[in-house]
A and B are shown apart, each in its own frame.
Chain A
Amino acid sequence: MNKTPLCAVHEKSGARMVDFAGWYMPVQYTSIIEEHNAVRTNSGLFDLFHMGEFWLSGPDAMKNIQKICCQDSEALSDRQIAYTPMCRPDGTIVDDLLIYRWSPEKFLLVVNASNMKKDFDWIKSQLEGNVELVDKSSETGLIAIQGPNAEAILQKLTRQRLKAIKFYWFTSGKVAGIDCIISRTGYTGEDGFELYYPAEHSEKLWNALLEAGKDVGIKPIGLGARDTLRLEARLMLYGNDINDETTPIEANLNWTVKFAKGPFTGSEVMKKQKDQGVTKTLVGFELGKGPAARHGYPIMKDGKKVGEVTSGTMAPTLQKNIGLGYVPPALSAIGSTFDIEIRGKNYPATVIETPFYTRARS
């Protein structure tokens, strides 16, 4: 199993470690609910070394990124970030990733740990012209600090003016003396930052952030709370909510699919789906009191299976059972009802607005 440079630190702090996509990662330090609440109300620190970082560079970098990703990187400014699906010609999703535009000739792509090899091979096979793809995952550390106190804590460790960095923008600069990419992004539904840095400085950066946040009560956060946080914010988990058999249109990621930029991989199929409709669509639902919906549970209507739950949990902030799942479009309107089959019994569910949770913005 792959280990992060912070593995020993996590073990020493009493974290429970699990195998996640071939990585030995902390799933919780104290309690998933405590950690979840810490991020919503205070601040939390995530070790995300397992994520993949690829650099795409060269005179033809822009042409290639425009072809392989659904987002429009021409429309980005330098130092701006976009969340994008990357699709096959049939519209199915290879992965969802972040594009960091350094310049029209240089991009950082941040991909899911579970898809690293698949993504690298796919992108490599698609490249045309004068462009180079380099995998820097093993030497790039990634720590996220998330929550309403994230900015104040991080500001103690850097001279970069964090207030000036807008959501989904980045800059580069020193944090605790370490060269970082400082990115105002996250996977929690809260404000916060993700820091990319040379992996050998992992312990130094981790400890500096913990120390800087000590007086307000920052907590290290495991993958368990990462999942409940992202689900409340309706952020996609590849392998659950989107996969090799779903398209961005089916997943209701239309906002990431920029048809106006001209043809790109999968655009023809997606355009057709957008114009003529889809056979399944991803909706958010809530369940009454009782058991939680979980990945893979059948969605039933009038005794027939019509879909499947892709993610589900008891939502700690909302204090109710929520989930995502694919259903026929006829069942996708807000207020539509169906049943979730849980251990042989049907439990009524109602389609509700997503994101389930949206932070108050100042």
Chain B
Amino acid sequence: MTTKFTKEHEWAKLEGDTVTVGITDYAAHQLGDVVFVELPAKGSKLQKDKVFGTIESVKTVSDLYSPVTGEVVAVNDNLENNPALVNEEPMGAGWICKVKMANPSEFDQLLSEADYKKICD
């Protein structure tokens, strides 16, 4: 399983033709305590690089950008009652949604971990 990244600080983990999407450790740390995640609706269509939701910390509101184009096949309902999961495990239990890709080649265009890390430094 490969994980890739966007310059907007999302990660995408590939499983078949579906990616799991979340925000990176770096982004979660920068945001601080997450208090609300506006999740996309299951079945909704996401466009690569377009806003698909928002994430709020105590202090700020940030947009979420989709790393790929496709259909939302699952959302992390646990975030409704426990948005702090995004801080605790941004790359694990704090995932946001799963997207079935319309065009799997889009995944290859995302940033490698090494290239993403350069952005954060």
Q: A-side interface residues toward B, CB under 8 Å? A: 16, 27-28, 31-33, 224, 227-228, 289-292, 294, 313-314, 316, 343
> Do B32 and A314 have beta carbons less than 8 Å apart?
no
> Do A316 and B58 have beta carbons less than 8 Å apart?
yes
Known: A28-B59, A32-B59. 8 other contacts (CB 8 A): A31-B32, A31-B87, A33-B33, A33-B58, A227-B59, A292-B56, A314-B58, A343-B54
> In whole Å, how far is B2's beta carbon from the nearest beta carbon of chain A?
32
Report how far A292 CA is from B60 CA in the complex, Å. Answer: 10
> Do A294 and B33 have beta carbons less than 8 Å apart?
no
> Do A228 and B38 have beta carbons less than 8 Å apart?
no
> Do B58 and A32 have beta carbons less than 8 Å apart?
yes
| Contact among A28, A32, A314 for B36, CB-based, below 8 A | A314
Set of chain B residues within 8 Å of A228, measured between Cβ atoms: 58
> In whole Å, how far is A229's beta carbon from the nearest beta carbon of chain B?
11
> Do B33 and A31 have beta carbons less than 8 Å apart?
yes
| Contact among B32, B38, B54, B80 for A32, CB-based, below 8 A | B32
Say whether, besides A33-B33, A314-B35, A224 and B56 are in contact (CB < 8 Å).
Answer: no
Set of chain B residues within 8 Å of A28, measured between Cβ atoms: 32, 59
Set of chain A residues within 8 Å of B36, measured between Cβ atoms: 290-292, 314
> Do A224 and B35 have beta carbons less than 8 Å apart?
no
Say whether, besides A31-B32, A291-B38, A292-B35, A313 and B61 are in contact (CB < 8 Å).
Answer: no
- What are 15 residue pairs bridging A and B, where the CB atoms are less than 8 Å apart in the complex? A16-B32, A31-B33, A32-B32, A32-B58, A224-B32, A228-B58, A289-B80, A290-B36, A291-B54, A292-B35, A294-B61, A314-B36, A314-B56, A314-B58, A316-B58
Set of chain A residues within 8 Å of B38, measured between Cβ atoms: 291
> In whole Å, how far is A288's beta carbon from the nearest beta carbon of chain B?
12
Report how far A290 CA is from B87 CA in the complex, Å. Answer: 18
Set of chain B residues within 8 Å of A294, measured between Cβ atoms: 61
Say whether, besides A31-B32, A31-B33, A224-B32, A313 and B54 are in contact (CB < 8 Å).
Answer: no
Nearest residue, chain A, Cβ from B51? A343
Report how far A187 CA is from B87 CA in the complex, Å. Answer: 28
Report how far A160 CA is from B71 CA in the complex, Å. Answer: 67
> Do A224 and B54 have beta carbons less than 8 Å apart?
no
Report how far A290 CA is from B61 CA in the complex, Å. Answer: 13
Report how far A313 CA is from B38 CA in the complex, Å. Answer: 16
Indicate with 1 or 0, residue by residue over B58-98, a CB within 8 angstroms of chain A CB atoms. 11010000000000000000001000000100000000000
From B36, B54, B59, B80, name the one whose CB has the most chain A CB atoms within 10 angstroms.
B59
Nearest residue, chain B, Cβ from A289? B80
* Chain B residues numbered 8-54 whose CB sits less than 8 Å from any CB in chain A: 32-33, 35-36, 38, 54
Report how far A291 CA is from B61 CA in the complex, Å. Answer: 9
Report how far A16 CA is from B32 CA in the complex, Å. Answer: 10
> Do B56 and A27 have beta carbons less than 8 Å apart?
no
Report how far A224 CA is from B35 CA in the complex, Å. Answer: 14
Report how far A292 CA is from B80 CA in the complex, Å. Answer: 14
Set of chain B residues within 8 Å of A314, measured between Cβ atoms: 35-36, 56, 58
The 10 A-B pairs of least Cβ separation, nearest first, read: A314-B35, A32-B58, A33-B33, A224-B59, A291-B36, A31-B33, A32-B33, A32-B32, A292-B56, A28-B32
Set of chain B residues within 8 Å of A313, measured between Cβ atoms: 58
From A27, A224, A289, name the one whose CB has the most chain B CB atoms within 10 angstroms.
A224
Report how far A294 CA is from B33 CA in the complex, Å. Answer: 16
From A28, A33, A316, name the one whose CB has the most chain B CB atoms within 10 angstroms.
A33
Set of chain A residues within 8 Å of B33, measured between Cβ atoms: 31-33
> In whole Å, how far is B79's beta carbon from the nearest beta carbon of chain A?
12
